[in-house]
Structure 1
Amino acid sequence: MASLLRTAGRARSVLARTNTQATSRRAPIAVQRRYASAAAAAVADSGEQSFFPDEPRAPTVQTAIPGPESKKAIERLSKVFDTRSLNMMADYSRSYGNYIADLDGNVLLDVYAQIASIPVGYNNASLQLAATSPEMASALINRPALGNFPQHDWADILEKGILSVAPKGLNQVFTSQSGSDANELAYKAAFMWKRQQQRGGPDAEFSAEDISSSMNNKAPGAPDLSILSFKSGFHGRLFGSLSTTRSKPIHKIDIPAFDWPQAPFPSLKYPLEDHAAENAKEEQRCLDETERIIKEWHAPPAAVIIEPIQSEGGDNHASPNFFRGLRELTKKLNVLFIVDEVQTGVGATGKFWAHEHWGLSSPPDMVTFSKKAQTAGYYFGNNDLRPNKPYRQFNTWMGDPARAILFRAIVQEIERLDLVNSTAATGTHLFGGLKRLAERYPKEIQNLRGQGQGTFIAWDSPRRDEVLKKAKGQGVNIGGSGDVAVRLRPMLIFQKHHADLLLERLEKVFQS
């Protein structure tokens, strides 16, 4: 173990030497010192101080993607694992900072970050320090079943990591395995809270009928309650979360689902400044319909769940006024308000949590998180959202201390480099460049959206899939959402000089 430890001052150079020893004849990106001077030149041009000085100056495309070596690896993998959703075969030993490498010598600027899930760069030296610590080794090899056997320093890990960035007003957390799992647990908490209210409080005992009917999946033990979600929303692929997912049929076909309601999500017109009255009317229509559904649905909603920006469903936005109205509506109707920040959380919108843009009069009841946090769970503040008895919100692991340790290191890196403010500034620069491109190529960039939302930017393209494919040929890994949206999900270390590289290559795609 001692041989793996690094000191903070030597972390980057040790990382480079370690990668040299670990990889094949192709030297890893971090070790190719010629990149350091090239990247420095690019940074000097932009006036920025680079977060990853050893990055390449620009992408490198040497073969078609996938190339011959990747094709061999994919063919081998496909014999034992489903590869039909594969984006590209990555070589993480050669990936660094904002750049993802493959097996054929291609090095792409990654503005997709896996699926919006890499926070502070590939092979980040600070995260390597956390990953090779004795604390991490213990968490990995002695993985605690946290509900029964939490490790002695679990409170310290939570307080200095996950809870140190808790949304305002939410000072407790239930940790979990994934974003879908986090939402499932939040739903369970909402149902237990509602039934607890109906019984008269946390001290009221279950009736004999509650107990017996629950074992037969019948009311009142299995109550006729629901979770309200929104059209085009995405909240996961487990059974409860899938019943609230409305983004794509492929996720839902053949899977039994709960009869839960969906409300309309505002369909805004762009540019926003030209359609202010129409958009305000549309948002009020959606709020009115949401209120009607909550009051009339045959299985009353215990909670409403919503994404600050609908991501999988097409990068759909709404104004802060809409979300403030929804919060007031849930308070009026005694329904919990769950904000799904699995994709929007951890700095991508220029705030640590996207709902901070809204200016709510009171915090959400629960906020779920995962992806860039590298761990998962939901925040809450109301003690009544704790189950009134043990084992009601429970599984073997109840999260993972190893991932919580990693999130703590991510938080420290974000604070050290001021990455949330950096993302806000980079997003302003990038949006301005995309706006200029949209003026030159109006058929290629339609309904540009995400202004003031950091790098959480998207637009619609009538030839979206072709654009994504051609972008790879230009050395950019980029993603889509919904039917026609191109979505940007760069890491928090994405800077203005990276944005300029992206804009330059997008223009080449549009010209082709």
Structure 2
Amino acid sequence: MSPIALRRHYASAAAAVAPEATEQPFFPDEPAGPILKTEIPGPQSVKAIEKLGKVFDTRSLNMMANYQRSYGNYIADLDGNVLLDVYAQIASIPVGYNNPTLLLAATSPEMASAIINRPALGNFPQHDWADILESGILKVAPKGLNQVFTGQSGSDANELAYKAAFMWKRQHQRGGAHIDFTDHEISSSMTNQSPGAPELSILSFTSAFHGRLFGSLSTTRSKAIHKLDIPAFDWPQAPFPVCKYPLDQYAAENAAEEQRCLDETERLIKEWHNPPAAVVVEPIQSEGGDNHASPNFFKGLRALTKKHDILFIVDEVQTGVGATGKFWAHEHWGLETPPDMVTFSKKAQTAGYYFGNSELRPNKPYRQFNTWMGDPARAILFRAIIQEIERLNLVENTAVTGQYLYEGLERLAQRYPSEVKNLRGKGQGTFIAWDSPRRDEVLKKAKSVGVNVGGSGATAVRLRPMLIFQKHHADLLLEGLEKIFKS
């Protein structure tokens, strides 16, 4: 079904339950609410899952989706069910399924060329690569960071940032970019020994998630299932604050907890036997349970990295691109100096890290290199996403809708205190979560009321709606949650 026919279909199917218009919808022809025709998974989905299971691992499958029939904030399956999607491919869909603006970008001659002639960017960059970067990825670069190294995924972005940190640190120890490697450094690197393979580390935090590749996995501390059986680097883990929520109601207790964590972080920076070259942190720990800290904690981390001459890497893979009501979540902190690197992926639909200090460029070619070094097709898509965000003012929309949704969840927490515990994310757009004593049951029952939602950590229900999520969607979500809490 074509996108136009799809919109007409949903407009017709949902017309009988269309709500009174109180805001201008971004997708006026999307369903007015969930459409439920069968249990989930329904018979057609079961058949498709069985077929896929013969050739692909389906044990982590959430639902079998039909993306050709998904639209706006709604994800469809093979049985005619259409769910309000507040999980959005693990926080990765920015401006809606089958967004017409993205469809135009995807069907442009520029995109076709990028797809079928995919360049090895380090050796054979296309003639307009600088223009693509400047009009897209770099147009929304965090303040003070005017350069980018593009990659393939969030894990890849973090690994590349770690490599940049190690090369920067050793360059400083060596005395500058002009000083060449010694024969001993060259030979020892080939046997994975120091000094060529230096005894350095990246410091991360308890419950952190930075990816599943080898380097990033050594900084991931969220769940054992990610790490079991995989050799890991001997890198330090500092405590991430275990705060009480709402943060502002427990300011004194949280400040003491954050100072405890900062003190231990500094001790590890000074004493760990493989000295850290960088500290990496998520603005909000996502996979590890939606854990928050105050801006003062992150300001304290920045001060420590400055004091001890190491780098500050902010992992914005999940928090970036408007989800918290600011384009980059670290903008909430009010830092005096920007992070050294900010990694990104997910809603950007491409990946990489921003940086501002040219010393973070390796002193020789091929040190930070792979065949693709990113993907112009995905960079073109991110440019279209940015245009759509600006056209519809979606970052501000997310801030406003997030406040509305949070207030609705506060009311539910008052009515169902055993169901909504430790509600958090106030003032952080729609980046909202709470703890549930029956979390997995809530996630399963959500589909029966027409909502696709996800979890994080051991007990948290996490909301990750798209930037086009509006107040009328929030009302539908709140109504669905109340049905679950009553059951």
Superposition TM-score tier, normalisation by shorter sequence: over 0.9
CA deviation vs aligned residue, 1:458-488 (integer Å, no higher than 9, x gap) = 0000000000000010000000000000000
CA deviation vs aligned residue, 1:77-131 (integer Å, no higher than 9, x gap) = 0000000000100001110000000001110000000110000000000000000
The answer to whether residue 145 in structure 2 is matched with residue 167 in structure 1 is no
**1:10 — aligned with what?**
none
**Counterparts of 2:239 and 2:16, CA distance in 1:** 50
**1:349 — aligned with what?**
324
**1:176 — aligned with what?**
151
CA deviation vs aligned residue, 1:220-246 (integer Å, no higher than 9, x gap) = 000000000000000000000000000
The answer to whether residue 381 in structure 2 is matched with residue 393 in structure 1 is no
In the TM superposition, residue 60 of structure 1 has moved relative to its aligned partner by 1.2
> Are the counterparts in 1 of residues 247 and 294 from structure 2 also a CA contact under 8 Å?
no
Q: Which runs of 5+ in 2 are unaligned?
A: none
**1:124 — aligned with what?**
99
**2:30 — aligned with what?**
55
**2:182 — aligned with what?**
207
Superposed, 1:42-191 pairs within 5 Å as: 42=19, 44=21, 47-191=22-166
Distance 1:208 1:38, change over 3 A: farther
Query: CA RMSD, aligned part only?
Result: 1.2
**Counterparts of 2:364 and 2:31, CA distance in 1:** 55
In the TM superposition, residue 276 of structure 1 has moved relative to its aligned partner by 1.4
The answer to whether residue 20 in structure 2 is matched with residue 16 in structure 1 is no
Q: TM-score, normalised by structure 2?
A: 0.99
Distance 1:38 1:146, change over 3 A: farther
User: Which of residues 379, 384, 404 is equivalent to 1:409?
Assistant: 384
Moved segments of 4+, more than 4 Å: 35-39
The one-letter code sitting in structure 2 at the alignment partner of 1:16 is: I
**2:399 — aligned with what?**
424
Q: TM-score, normalised by structure 1?
A: 0.94
**1:268 — aligned with what?**
243
User: Which of residues 464, 471, 478 is equivalent to 1:503?
Assistant: 478
> Are the counterparts in 1 of residues 88 and 464 from structure 2 also a CA contact under 8 Å?
yes
> Are the counterparts in 2 of residues 36 and 54 from structure 1 also a CA contact under 8 Å?
no
In the TM superposition, residue 31 of structure 1 has moved relative to its aligned partner by 3.3
CA deviation vs aligned residue, 1:184-232 (integer Å, no higher than 9, x gap) = 0000000000000001000000001000000000000000000000000
**2:424 — aligned with what?**
449
User: Which of residues 12, 34, 39 is equivalent to 2:12?
Assistant: 34
**1:24 — aligned with what?**
none
User: Which of residues 443, 446, 451 is equivalent to 1:471?
Assistant: 446
The one-letter code sitting in structure 1 at the alignment partner of 2:160 is: L
**Counterparts of 1:30 and 1:306, CA distance in 2:** 45
Distance 1:131 1:146, change over 3 A: same
> Are the counterparts in 1 of residues 11 and 30 from structure 2 also a CA contact under 8 Å?
no
In the TM superposition, residue 30 of structure 1 has moved relative to its aligned partner by 4.9
**2:297 — aligned with what?**
322
Please give the secondary structure, in 1, of the residue aligned with 2:417: coil
In the TM superposition, residue 16 of structure 1 has moved relative to its aligned partner by 1.1
In the TM superposition, residue 275 of structure 1 has moved relative to its aligned partner by 1.7
**Counterparts of 1:271 and 1:219, CA distance in 2:** 47
User: Which of residues 218, 223, 230 is equivalent to 1:248?
Assistant: 223
**2:201 — aligned with what?**
226
Q: Which runs of 5+ in 1 are unaligned?
A: 1-12, 18-27
**Counterparts of 2:286 and 2:391, CA distance in 1:** 28
In the TM superposition, residue 34 of structure 1 has moved relative to its aligned partner by 1.6
The one-letter code sitting in structure 1 at the alignment partner of 2:53 is: S
> Are the counterparts in 1 of residues 439 and 460 from structure 2 also a CA contact under 8 Å?
yes
The one-letter code sitting in structure 1 at the alignment partner of 2:438 is: R
**Counterparts of 1:278 and 1:350, CA distance in 2:** 26
**Counterparts of 2:333 and 2:467, CA distance in 1:** 21
Identity of paired residues, percent? 80
Please give the secondary structure, in 2, of the residue aligned with 1:77: helix
CA deviation vs aligned residue, 1:3-54 (integer Å, no higher than 9, x gap) = xxxxxxxxxx97314xxxxxxxxxx455343257568x4261xx21000000
CA deviation vs aligned residue, 1:255-304 (integer Å, no higher than 9, x gap) = 00000000000000123333211110000000000000000000000000
